[in-house]
Amino acid sequence: MGQTIIEKILTKHCGHEARANEIVVAQVDYVMGQDGTSPLAINAFHEMDGQSIFDSSKVAFVIDHSAPSPNEGVSALHKLMREFSQEKGFHLYDIGEGVCHQLIPESGEVGPGSLVIGADSHTCTYGALNAFSTGVGSTDLAGGLISGKMWFKVPETIKFVCDGTLPPGVFSKDLILYLIGDVTADGATYMAAEYTGEAITAMSQEARFTIANMAVEMGAKAGLMDADEKTFDWLCRFTDRKFTPVTADADAVYAQVREYDVSKLEPQVAKPHQVDNVAPLSEIAGKPVQQAVLGTCTNGRLEDLRIAAGILNGRKIHPGVRFIVAPASRQVLLDAMAEGIIQTLVEAGAALVTAGCGPCVGTHNGIPSDGETVISTANRNFKGRMGNSKAEIYLASPATVAASALTGEFTDPREFIK
Amino acid sequence: MEFSGKAHKFGNDVNTDYIISGKYKFKTLDMKELARHVMEDLDPDFYEKVTAGDFIVGGANFGCGSSREQAPLAIKYADVGAVLAKSFARIFYRNAINTGLPVVECDTDLIDQGDELKVDLSAGVIENKTKGTNIPIKPLPGVMIKILNDGGLAAHFRKYRGFNFD
């Protein structure tokens, strides 16, 4: 009987054959925490009588969620993280370097076959690099920091086969929103997802990150893809380390196989207040928008900014819209500057904020007012997510966000993409 | 472990942003302060309504969303005895066990707002005293029972200097 990708990765990391529904204790290759979760992990580390880090070269903290600090409470927690990482001798990415889920892939430490835990639910993003990476809480993170290990229930896998060709103006974000709407917010709970098919193969590596990033929004523990030439081309910019791709066996056992033809997919939106409340954009076209957000770990990469700039080039956003742009990392910002993308976005009327999580988590950088409508490239639209429970958040692709910023209402980006 | 209290009902997909909003959790490690805001976006008076030992009763997918451990901690520090739901999102489930907040999978359609409950974890049953019915509990995986019995993951680590499930 064959194995899925995640069964193979767990087999390699726990030292015996791992099969769905077994409990295993596995070695981890990398451990990450961010500023919303690491302070509690430091507490748990001390509570565990932790002395040292299992391997300081395999650990990082990232200050990205409230960066730069908006108040003294946050500043104190950031300081705690800086002091702990210095004392234990591991790397801390400080304000302005970017979002953890962009920085860890850019570090070159993670690739095909890796096993990563991160104290952030969107750690599943690195599944786009053929890694098993998953979100944990602060106490699990502390356990990982001390032991270099984590216990897992080996998950069953749902295979999503996405064939056909995405039409122009329809992107990986539209596809993953559609899949989440179809499978629902808990359709993959306790399971892994494997994304495969012609449409995934045809996607750029950056577009694939968007799909893997949102696996947790269907409840999944991980969202994995095969590694191919595009994966290795992307990785070789950051590392010369050799990784071995992990592929599922032809006779691997899946909990479900779901098949899709993406050829007729339209731009999608997730409506308030749930990510699986998905509809075609056409259903709400023309509804006014007061704030548009481009960025986050879902859609703040160079390709996303480039798509938005392509629509906004030489134009001005609608005067009734605030357009906030947060690049996913300093490297993305530098690349976008070199390409003239930042110039285009700022000339169009964008408010550029620090590379990081920006307004996605409701701490700073653009909290909407009562009754306002926000269109965002983020991954969550929960009530209050952006800091005001009386605002409404819609999720969409960078193209749809840019087109809507331009017109001041929900707009099909295909009007601007020739 | 045995708990008695009143049911506070919520719907499906109660996410961790609703349990404790990001606008509070980034600021402090004072869980008593965070507890004052628990469930605020769903019920602004929730903290005032809870009596020590009461239960949060959710539908499916309780605790979905972010990995914030402040979510189970804020519930615990609000003196909620346990969370009952049809199913839990996996990170919340782990975090609750790791931090010693009892989480119970059961058919919560059999419980209404305000029902008086007695939850007996060792016997694996909930007594709905208001309705005079018994509701079976789906047992926890063995690993989690071990962590709970050790007093949470931190205590487990203090005891064994690592994971020990043998």
pLDDT at A37: 96
pLDDT at A358: 85
* Cross-chain Cβ contact B143/A151 below 8 Å: yes
Out of A232, A260, A288, pick the residue that ends a domain.
A260
Q: Which residue of B has its CA nearest to A73?
A: B27
Query: In whole angstroms, what is the distance from residue A331 CA to residue A335 CA?
Result: 6
Residue A417 within a domain: no
* Cross-chain Cβ contact B90/A221 below 8 Å: yes
Amino acid at A229: E
Residues A200 and A160 in one domain: yes
Domain count, chain A: 2
Residue A418 within a domain: no
Q: Is the pLDDT of residue A363 over 90?
A: no
Q: Quote the crossing angle between the two packed helices A341-348 and A302-312, to the nearest 10°.
A: 50
Q: What is the mean pLDDT of residues A142-153?
A: 98
Residue B130 distance to chain A (closest CA, Å):
31
Q: Is the pLDDT of residue A115 over 90?
A: yes
Q: Is the pLDDT of residue B166 over 90?
A: no
Candidates B41, B153, B158; nearest CB to A49: B158
Residues A105 and A208 in one domain: yes
Give the list of residues 6+ apart from residue A200 with CB closer than 8 angstroms, or none.
Answer: A162, A208, A211, A225
Task: Supply the mean pLDDT for chain B.
Answer: 95
Which of B15, B67, B138 would best serve as a mutation to test chain A binding (most A beta carbons within 10 A)?
B67
Q: How many CB pairs under 8 A join A and B?
A: 151
Out of A205, A232, A260, pick the residue that ends a domain.
A260
Domains of chain B: 2-160 (3.20.19.10)
Residues A189 and A229 in one domain: yes
pLDDT at A380: 97
Task: Name the band, by pLDDT with cuts 50, 70 and 90, for residue B23.
Answer: confident
Which of A48, A146, A275 would best serve as a mutation to test chain B binding (most B beta carbons within 10 A)?
A48
- Please report residues of A whose CB lies closer than 8 A to that of B27: 71, 73-74, 77
Q: What is the mean pLDDT of residues B21-46?
A: 92
Q: Which residue of A has its CA nearest to B61?
A: A186
Residue A175 within a domain: yes
Residues A284 and A203 in one domain: no
Query: In whole angstroms, what is the distance from residue A115 CA to residue A129 CA?
Result: 11
Residues A54 and A165 in one domain: yes
Q: What is the mean pLDDT of residues A319-329?
A: 98
Residue A265 within a domain: no
* Cross-chain Cβ contact B163/A362 below 8 Å: no
Residue A109 within a domain: yes
ipTM of the complex: 0.96
Q: Is A226 on the interface with B (CB under 8 A)?
A: no
Where would I find the H helices in A172-315? Answer: 172-183, 198-202, 205-213, 229-235, 296-299, 302-312
* Cross-chain Cβ contact B41/A39 below 8 Å: no
pLDDT digits (tens, 9 = 90+) for B96-107: 999 999 999 999
Residue A407 distance to chain B (closest CA, Å):
30
pLDDT at B85: 98
Q: Which residue of B has its CA nearest to A275?
A: B65
pLDDT digits (tens, 9 = 90+) for B109-151: 999 999 999 999 888 999 999 999 999 999 888 899 899 889 9
Residue A386 distance to chain B (closest CA, Å):
8
Candidates A119, A149, A389; nearest CB to B67: A119
* Cross-chain Cβ contact B90/A48 below 8 Å: no
Q: How many CB atoms within 10 Å of residue A104?
A: 27
Judge contact between A118 and A251, C-beta under 8 A.
no
Residues A323 and A226 in one domain: no
- Please report residues of A whose CB lies closer than 8 A to that of B152: 139
pLDDT digits (tens, 9 = 90+) for A191-224: 999 999 999 999 999 999 999 999 999 999 999 9
Residues A147 and A286 in one domain: no
Q: Is the pLDDT of residue A114 over 90?
A: yes
Out of A197, A229, A260, pick the residue that ends a domain.
A260
Residues A181 and A280 in one domain: no
The shares of helix, strand and coil residues in chain A, as percent rounded to the nearest 5, are: 40, 20, 40
Residue A60 within a domain: yes
Q: Is B76 on the interface with A (CB under 8 A)?
A: no
Closest CA to A80 of A109, A49, A44: A44
Q: A357 lies in which domain range?
A: 270-412
Residues A64 and A195 in one domain: yes
For A389, the 3-state DSSP assignment is: coil
Query: In whole angstroms, what is the distance from residue B40 CA to residue B28 CA?
Result: 17
Q: Is A170 on the interface with B (CB under 8 A)?
A: no
pLDDT at B1: 76
Task: Supply the mean pLDDT for chain A.
Answer: 97
pLDDT digits (tens, 9 = 90+) for A240-290: 999 999 999 999 999 999 999 999 999 999 999 999 999 999 999 999 999
Residues A249 and A319 in one domain: no
Judge contact between A122 and A297, C-beta under 8 A.
yes
Residue A247 within a domain: yes
Q: Is the pLDDT of residue A134 over 90?
A: yes
> Token digits for A38?
């690491």
Q: What is the mean pLDDT of residues B55-66?
A: 97
Query: In whole angstroms, what is the distance from residue A89 CA to residue A91 CA?
Result: 7
* Cross-chain Cβ contact B143/A73 below 8 Å: no
Residues A254 and A279 in one domain: no
Residues A231 and A293 in one domain: no
pLDDT digits (tens, 9 = 90+) for A370-384: 999 999 999 999 999
pLDDT at B25: 80
Residue A240 within a domain: yes
* Cross-chain Cβ contact A121/B67 below 8 Å: yes
Candidates B17, B27, B143; nearest CB to A73: B27
Give the domain CATH number at A374.
3.30.499.10
Q: Is A33 on the interface with B (CB under 8 A)?
A: no
pLDDT at A375: 98
Omega before residue A327 within 30° of 0, cis: no
